[in-house]
Each structure stands twice: as structure tokens, then as C-alpha cells.
């Protein structure tokens, strides 16, 4: 299994540009999520999905869109990039193991907006 | 949401045990305690979780205080590969309610 894969690894955007960060998992996990991590800070939840066709907002959703058309893929769209969106983005998938979710994270995408 | 408090950083000598503390004084009765770690330039990885009883797995042990207001992650024999940021997280029972704080940065000294 490849686990959780993210592309690209690095990206530089100009303010106002749009792009899509790709995330895929091959573990047949129902749950997927996107986090951002700013320097010296913990991870903050952007959006999450509990299954194909179902998404919801996390702690910091503004400026981002998601969709989940398949179990495997959960792309994150930046509609109009801003310097405040410079961050490292992590995608995670998880399954319910008993009463808890064990999350598997991708390697991250480092995004710089100039 | 219940919060956790961890020291910003800790040091350990290689091949010695490490005890990473976490305070969660406002934990509720149904909150699970999770630990994740993040190696440099990687995404976080699951380490261990528990509810009330102490737990062991191949990576670490989790000791939970009787009143559940604190817990300790124990690495029995630190290696250089264990140098990472360790996050103590409370799972309040909803997928969207898991919050990662700033964690403890563990430095392992050869």
C-alpha cells in the first residue's frame, strides 16, 4: 500500500492564483481530512469528509474548497491564494477502530504564496 | 473542547527511557487520550491511545493517572530516530474535534 499520497510536494503561487492540492489514499478509509501547519504551531483542521459525497468545515475553512467524489481522493482547492495561506498542508485518512479514529498522514505539501 | 498542556521541549540521552508528560485537567469521562509524533519534515504518525488503563504497544507505553487529569508517554529506550515533536491529543468523540496543539519537541542526545 502506498498509504496517503500528496502532490505536489512544493508549490509557489502568486497572490490571486488558484490551485488544487491532490490527496489520495489506497486503504479504503472512509474518513479524510486536510490540515495546515504554520511555523511553530500545531495542526489546524481545514475541512474533513466522512465519506464520498459528504464534506464539512473544520477550524479554518475560509479560502478553501473541497469535494469528495470517490473514497480514494480528497482534493483541496485554493480559490484565490493569499500570503496568509503560506503553510505546510497535510492530508490524512482514518478509520474508526473501535471507538477512536487512527489517522494516517501524508508527507505534506509546502505552499508559498508571494 | 478539553485542552492539553505539554512542555515545549525535552532532552534525553540515547538508550535511556523518556517520560513525556501531558496535563489534561478538563478531560471528560469519555475522552480518549491519543499520542502522535511528527518526525522532521514528515506528517504526524500515530503512536498510542488509551482511555483509563495503561497501554503498551511496540512503539511506547501510555501511563494514565487514576483521575485521568494527566498522562505520560514512555519511550523505553530512546534512539536518535525518536527525535520528533510529540502531540498529546484528546478525542472528544467526534472526528472533527481532534485538535493538535504545539506538542513537545524531543531531542535525543547521542
Give the pLDDT of residue A42: 86
Nearest to B43 among A50, A100, A105 (CB): A105
Mean pLDDT of A106-114: 97
> Of A3-12, A57-66, B23-32, which range is least confident?
B23-32
What is the torsional sign of CA B19, B22, B28, B31? negative
Answer whether A4's CB lies under 8 Å from A28's CB: no
Nearest to B46 among A4, A48, A102 (CB): A102
Partner-chain contact A48 B95, CB within 8 Å: yes
Share of chain A above pLDDT 70, in %: 100
Mean pLDDT of A72-83: 97
In this complex, is the C-beta atom of A38 within 8 Å of any C-beta atom belonging to chain B?
Answer: no
Answer whether A53's CB lies under 8 Å from A70's CB: no
Exposure on the CB side of residue A90, measured as CA atoms within 13 A: 22
Partner-chain contact A90 B43, CB within 8 Å: yes
**Closest CA of chain A from B46, distance in Å:** 7
Burial class (CB in 10 A: 0-12, 13-18, 19+), A19: middle
Residue-wise pLDDT for A30-74, tens only, equals 999 999 999 888 899 999 999 999 999 998 999 999 999 999 999
Q: Collapsing DSSP states into helix, strand and coil, what is residue A11?
A: strand
Residue B97 has pLDDT above 70, yes or no: no
Amino acid at each position: 500500500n502506498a498509504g496517503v499520497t500528496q502532490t505536489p510536494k512544493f508549490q509557489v503561487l502568486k497572490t490571486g492564483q488558484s490551485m488544487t492540492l491532490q490527496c489520495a489514499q489506497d486503504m479504503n478509509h472512509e474518513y479524510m481530512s486536510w490540515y495546515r501547519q504554520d511555523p511553530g504551531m500545531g495542526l489546524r483542521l481545514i475541512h474533513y469528509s466522512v465519506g464520498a459525497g459528504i464534506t464539512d468545515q473544520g477550524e479554518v475553512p475560509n479560502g478553501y474548497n473541497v469535494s469528495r467524489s470517490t473514497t480514494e481522493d480528497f482534493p483541496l482547492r485554493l480559490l484565490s491564494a493569499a500570503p496568509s495561506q503560506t503553510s505546510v498542508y497535510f492530508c490524512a485518512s482514518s478509520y474508526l477502530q473501535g471507538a477512536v479514529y487512527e489517522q494516517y498522514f501524508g508527507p505534506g505539501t509546502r505552499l508559498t504564496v508571494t | 473542547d478539553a485542552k492539553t498542556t505539554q512542555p515545549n521541549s525535552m532532552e534525553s540521552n540515547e538508550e535511556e527511557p523518556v517520560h513525556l508528560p501531558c496535563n489534561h485537567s478538563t478531560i471528560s469521562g469519555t475522552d480518549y487520550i491519543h499520542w502522535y509524533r511528527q518526525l522532521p519534515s514528515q506528517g504526524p504518525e500515530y503512536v498510542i491511545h488509551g482511555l483509563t488503563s495503561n497501554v503498551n504497544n511496540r512503539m511506547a507505553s501510555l501511563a494514565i493517572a487514576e483521575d485521568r487529569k494527566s498522562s505520560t508517554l514512555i519511550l523505553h529506550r530512546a534512539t536518535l530516530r525518536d527525535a520528533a515533536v510529540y502531540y498529546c491529543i484528546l478525542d472528544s468523540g467526534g472526528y472533527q474535534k481532534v485538535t493538535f496543539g504545539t506538542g513537545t519537541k524531543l531531542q535525543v542526545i547521542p
